[in-house]
Amino acid sequence: MSATDAAEAALDSPLNSKKVRRQRPEGKADRAKKVLTSKWATAGAIIIAVIWTIPTAGLFITSFRPADQIKGSGWWTIFQNWGFTFDNYAEVLTAQGASSANLSSYFINSIVVAVPATLFPLVLASLAAYAFAWIKFRFSAAIFIGVFALQIVPLQMALIPLLQIFSGALGISGTFPAVWIAHTIFGLPLAIFLLHNFISEIPGDVIEAARVDGANHFQTFFRIVLPLAMPALASFAIFQFLWVWNDLLVALVFSGGGVDVAPLTQRLAELSGNYGRNLHRLPAAAFISIIVPLIVFFSLQRYFVRGLMAGSTKG
């Protein structure tokens, strides 16, 4: 799979750039070339980098300005209109009540939604991926391709009937389990595909050796396949976690929208809907929702990139 190859290459390159450089020593001609073309390239790169950074940086500065200054002047006048406060953060996090942002409650909801919605598909998919890779059965190839194709069915197609099942037969609409199950289902095709790619790459000799030693499928799975598949499990887990944390559509449809279950994104979207009145709250609120993905991003970039690339067809 070209995407996975690219993913592997990308993982190696930024992190092991020393190694790459050693493999490709730059000749004199190379360096001359670099100087000639780099003037425009550098200018272009700087322009793009600045345009891409300013929106986030500007909002970050805004989030620490006093409410009346947020409403009265732009963040770039920060030195003329100096002001620094944590009030916005304190207000959106701690103020309770129907009209306040209540973000601390929604933050908890996001955690309670995201943890099982990451673990459930991970467990189910690793079992299925093992079966598709190492248990021979009829139609295995056809079923696997079917699962792969499901990956690209827009989840919009499933929302209405799934909601009917949840509110009718199961009666769990608007609860955490409803959101967990929905996310699990929507995450499964990608997870199975991703983990299968990895698990099927495990050398056949290793699996055979375990069988010869008398291990059944469960023992093989738990003692050999799972430990070896750890990198793939980690990258899917991070990818799915971020996907769930950042999701709005599934949350809107299945969480019922209240402070009991709905995650941060849902509350943010609501606050944003009453934009004028929440102007001073939104920057702080946005950063509270962004902070977890950013931590994941910076600390686990390597796995995040891999999950993102292998999962590029999630839907």
Partner 1 sequence: MGVGPVVAQVAEAVQHVLPTARRGDFWGATIEKFGVLFIGLAAFAAVIGLVLFFADRTPKKMRDVVQLTAFVAPALLLLLVGLVYPAIQTVYLAFTNRQGEWIGFQNFVWMFTQDEILQVLLNTIIWVLLVPALSTTIGLAYAVFIDKSAGEKVLKSLVFLPMAISFVGAGIIWRFIYEYRAEGYEQIGLLNQIIVWFGGEPRQFLIESPWNTFFLIIVMIWIQTGFAMVLLSAAIKAVPTEIIEASRLDGANAWQQFWNVTVPGIRSTLVVVVTTITIATLKVFDIVRTMTGGNYGTSVVANEMYTQAFNRAEWGQGAALAVVLFIMVLPIIMYNVRVMRKQREIR
Instruction: Tell whether residue 218 is a contact of partner 1 (CB under 8 A).
Output: yes
Can you give the three-state secondary structure of 172-207, one letter per residue? CCCCHHHHHHHHHHHHHHHHHHHHHHHHCCCCHHHH
Burial of 42 (0-12, 13-18, 19+ CB in 10 A): exposed
Residues that contact partner 1, how many (by CB under 8 A): 142
Token output for 11: 């993982």
User: Do residues 196 and 132 lie in contact, with contact meaning Cβ atoms separated by under 8 Å?
Assistant: yes
* Residues of span 41-80 touching partner 1 by CB under 8 A: 41-42, 44-45, 48-49, 52-56, 58-59, 62, 70-74, 76
Site for partner 1 (CB under 8 A): which residue of 66, 67, 85, 175? Answer: 175
Q: Residue for token digits 């598949």?
A: 229
d(CA 199, CA 121): 16
Instruction: Tell whether residue 307 is a contact of partner 1 (CB under 8 A).
Output: no
Site for partner 1 (CB under 8 A): which residue of 68, 82, 157, 206? Answer: 157
HSE-CB of 100 using CA atoms within 13 angstroms: 14
d(CA 128, CA 195): 9
* Residues of span 236-275 touching partner 1 by CB under 8 A: 242, 245-249, 252-253, 258-260, 265, 268-269, 272-273, 275
* Residues of span 95-134 touching partner 1 by CB under 8 A: 96-97, 104-105, 108-109, 111-112, 115-116, 119-120, 123-125, 127-128, 130-132
* Residues of span 287-306 touching partner 1 by CB under 8 A: 289-290, 293-294, 296-298, 301, 304-305
* Residues of span 2-21 touching partner 1 by CB under 8 A: 2-3, 5-7, 9-11, 13-15, 17, 20-21
**66 Cβ neighbours under 8 A, 6+ residues apart:** 83, 85, 87
Q: Which is nearer to partner 1, 181 or 194 (CB)?
A: 181
d(CA 207, CA 221): 9
Instruction: Tell whether residue 143 is a contact of partner 1 (CB under 8 A).
Output: yes
* Residues of span 185-214 touching partner 1 by CB under 8 A: 185-186, 188-189, 192, 200
